[in-house]
Amino acid sequence: MEFIFYFGDVFTPVSFALLLVGTIGGLILGATPGLSPTMAVALLIPFTFQLEAAQGLILLGAAYTSTVAGGAVSAILLKIPGAPANIATTLDGHTMAQKGQGAKALQLSFLSSAVGGIFGVLLLIFLTPVLAQWALAFGPSHLFWLAILGVTVIGSLDSRSVVKGLLSGCIGLWLATIGFDDIMGAQRFIFHPSLGGGINIIAALIGLFAIPQVITMFARGRRNDAAEVIKVEKHPIGGAIRELFRNNRAMGIGTVTGSIIGLIPGVGGQIAGLVAYDQSKKFSPQRDKFGTGHPEGLVAAESANNAMVGPSLVPLLTLSIPGSPTAAVLLGGLLIHGIFPGTDLFDNHPDVAWTFINSMLIGQILMCIFGLYVAGLAARIAMVPQSVMAAVVLGLAVFGSYSVQSSMGDVYVMASLGVMMYFLERFGFSAAPLVLGLILGPIAESNFIQGSMIANATDGMAPYFLGGGLNIFLIAVVIASILYSGYLELRSRRYTSKEEIMA
């Protein structure tokens, strides 16, 4: 309960002004494609040199929470996920925007972000010591099985056909092998110098999602059919809140999945949204509607990716190990003021620690209020004529992929992957499983190699990868997930064949 005493510190004029600046700035940065939360926080670090420790962290904490939520804006309106966390948001969010329900989609995404985010921060406040042990429990063998669990999701994610889903997953897994291998030092598939560092995930995201759209829009030309003009429906905020509570199952699944996965160092943020989306799809009676602009999917994805924010900081704050790239940047923000995370932080600088955590709590609420306020306005983007929109999205795509590492190489990667994806989409493949393969490939590979090196030096491969409670539990979940997907596939096949007979 100690944190309550430090709420006052958040509301001093300077701190609150910084909180507002961080939140609003973070939303704008987050909505800009290519500026991931890590980037946004890193850009703000030099400004904190001049501030006091607590104030600097308020700025960084507010920016972190709101960039994660802001990423949903470009995912919904432009179908460009600003960060891997927002991939699942595009699946239902963008389809809603295309149906003219952009305002509703944005309102729902900000509301579910706030619910998930507040739950995550509360976990950070009350359960940090317990959670720290949980975060350490995941070694290479467990992370390997977790990645395999992710792979089992690939087939069923956003794709009519399981085979095509798996095939695009395989393309993603192959793309992930490109570049210098950090563990063995080998060079793989580097046929152009810009691939030396491997395929940057943000550049790939932008290319795979935005470019096929741009080409489709250009291909339609200047034709302005009446059917093309999207009517943007107004949507009352009260209605969005009621809608959110109607989807309490998705919200619960999203929040819990996001919080648990967010804890695991090195994996969390990237797959939290996708796993939550897949889980709520499997548990939903209306699973056929997922991917067609169904609010349930949007709620699950967005509550998960904000719920992960709080727990993702647990390893950093308690053990001084940054569990995600963004946490590593925040570590820099602490060190510059001579504060070491860990016991030093909570014992000797409780004002800094709790003010920082409180600011994330209040930041979530401010983010939600501000987001709801602009949602109606932002949704009108859908009314921009497609020919203009195509040019704008293309510009943002180039800017976004260049700014990740200030490298033209990433722009080439973005463009070539995008053109490839355009043709793949025409054959019924989709981008989400491909990206999931790209994310999971390195996690599975490096943890398998590391695990096998440790296993060979100690008690052998089989006991290391198959023994232990957590391993067995994860393997059981993997098997359950495969069986369940198989069952669903068979059942839906029977349905289709019945319909076909009727037709």
- Which residue, 42 or 435, has its beta carbon nearer to another protein? 42
49 binds another protein (CB under 8 A): yes
- Which residue, 8 or 463, has its beta carbon nearer to another protein? 463
- The site string for another protein over 214-253 (x = CB under 8 A, - otherwise) reads ----------------------------------------
Residues 6+ apart with CB under 8 A from 371: 27, 69, 106, 107, 109, 110, 113
**The tokens of 399 are what?**
């800017």
42 binds another protein (CB under 8 A): yes
**Quick one: which segment of 2-10, 194-202, 374-382, 416-424 binds another protein (CB under 8 A)?**
194-202
**Quick one: which segment of 149-157, 202-210, 218-226, 403-411 binds another protein (CB under 8 A)?**
403-411
* Near another protein by CB under 8 A: residue from 2, 182, 228, 233: 182
Burial environment of residue 232 by CB neighbours within 10 A (0 to 12, 13 to 18, 19 or more): middle
- DSSP sequence for 297-337: HHHHHHHHHHHTHHHHTHHHHHHS---SHHHHHHHHHHHTT
Q: How far is the CB of 440 from another protein (least distance, A)?
A: 14
Q: How far is CA 222 from CA 305, 389, 422, 435, 461, in A?
A: 38, 11, 20, 31, 61
140 binds another protein (CB under 8 A): yes
- The site string for another protein over 2-41 (x = CB under 8 A, - otherwise) reads ------------------------------------xx-x
Burial environment of residue 416 by CB neighbours within 10 A (0 to 12, 13 to 18, 19 or more): middle
Q: What H or E segment, with its residue span, contains residue 179?
A: strand 179-180
Q: How far is the CB of 66 from another protein (least distance, A)?
A: 18
How many C-beta atoms surround the C-beta of residue 423 within 10 A? 11
Q: How far is the CB of 65 from another protein (least distance, A)?
A: 17
CB 23 within 8 Å of CB 370:
yes
User: Site size for another protein, by CB under 8 A?
Assistant: 57
CB 228 within 8 Å of CB 239:
no
- Which residue, 196 or 463, has its beta carbon nearer to another protein? 196
- Which residue, 157 or 178, has its beta carbon nearer to another protein? 178
HSE of 397, CA atoms in CB hemisphere, 13 A: 31
Binding site for another protein (CB under 8 A): 38-39, 41-43, 45-46, 49, 136-137, 139-140, 179-180, 182-185, 187, 193, 196-198, 200, 265-266, 315, 319-322, 325, 328-332, 335-338, 340-344, 405-407, 442, 446, 450, 453-454, 456-458
